[in-house]
Chains A and B, each alone.
Chain A
Amino acid sequence: MTLREISDRLGLTVHSGCDRLDTEVTRGYMSDMLSDVMGNAPIGSLWITMQKHKNIVAVAVMKSLAGIVLVKGRAPDEDTVAAAEEEGVAILSSAQGAFATAARLHELGVAGD
């Protein structure tokens, strides 16, 4: 399913990359440690995290991630949004916590590994 469909079904808020919402999402990866995402996240997966600082954009670009979902209603920092728009990275946020967000994506059929 696409980011747009996920966003609609889960009621996510889009913060950047509205032109990227047609991206297909098949896998999901949850982690707050950048080194772990760099090392282990599947290419093209949807990244779920609470980190909202600018470095998440570079990680998303390097792993060609489908996008970033911030949890607990967090919004990306201003400079994060700027970097994301420049790099074409979609950042969305979920009002729910990490566990519930991952669970709901799982229910939608987004796979882990």
Chain B
Amino acid sequence: MTLKEVAEQLSARVLAGGDEDLAAAATSVAAGDMMSDVLARADIPDVLVTGLTTVQAIRTASVAGIKTVVIVRGKPVPQPMIDLAREESIVLMVTAMKLFEACGRLWDCGLRPRAGKGKAPEA
């Protein structure tokens, strides 16, 4: 599915990222609040779903090569985080859904922990 569809499925508000960025495909997801855990992965997911609302979430995404960060729990996203996401060309969105539900919803849409595992339904 596209990032635009991810935003729709999660009823998320896009804070950084234009139409072109949102047209990109997303197939793999990492979820969690601890950045070292994200960095310990051998693969690079398309989307990071997290409740961490600091610039470190963006820096981690940047270092790891993750192109999208979804903030959960409807938490307020600080402006420095939005600015950095724009600077680093990382799509940033926020959803009121909790982390658990957001994962369930994305799984139902066919997203998986890593690309290629499990079948994704036709977009």
Query: In the complex the two chains form, what is the Cα distance from A48 to B32 in whole Å?
Result: 10
Tell me if B34 and A30 are in contact (CB < 8 A).
no
Interface 1/0 per residue, A45-65 and B, CB below 8 Å: 000101100000000000000
With an 8 Å Cβ cutoff, the count of chain B residues facing the other chain is 23
A78 interface residue (CB < 8 Å to B):
no
Q: Given A30-B98, A97-B113, A100-B113, do A106 and B30 touch, yes or no (CB 8 Å)?
A: no
- Majority DSSP secondary structure for residues of B touching A: mixed
Category for how many chain A residues contact B: 20 to 34
Q: Which residue of B lies closest to A102 (CB)?
A: B103
Q: Which residues of B contact A (CB under 8 A)?
A: 29-34, 37, 49, 51-52, 73, 97-101, 103-104, 106-108, 112-113
Q: How far is the CB of A31 from chain B (nearest CB, A)?
A: 6
Tell me if A98 and B103 are in contact (CB < 8 A).
yes
Q: Which residues of A contact B (CB under 8 A)?
A: 28-33, 36, 40, 48, 50-51, 72, 96-100, 102-103, 105-107, 112-113
Tell me if B103 and A30 are in contact (CB < 8 A).
yes
Residue among B30, B52, B104, B113 making CB contact with A112, cutoff 8 Å: B104
> Which residues does chain A contribute within 8 Å of B99, judged by CB atoms?
29-31, 102
Q: Given A99-B113, A103-B103, do A112 and B31 touch, yes or no (CB 8 Å)?
A: no
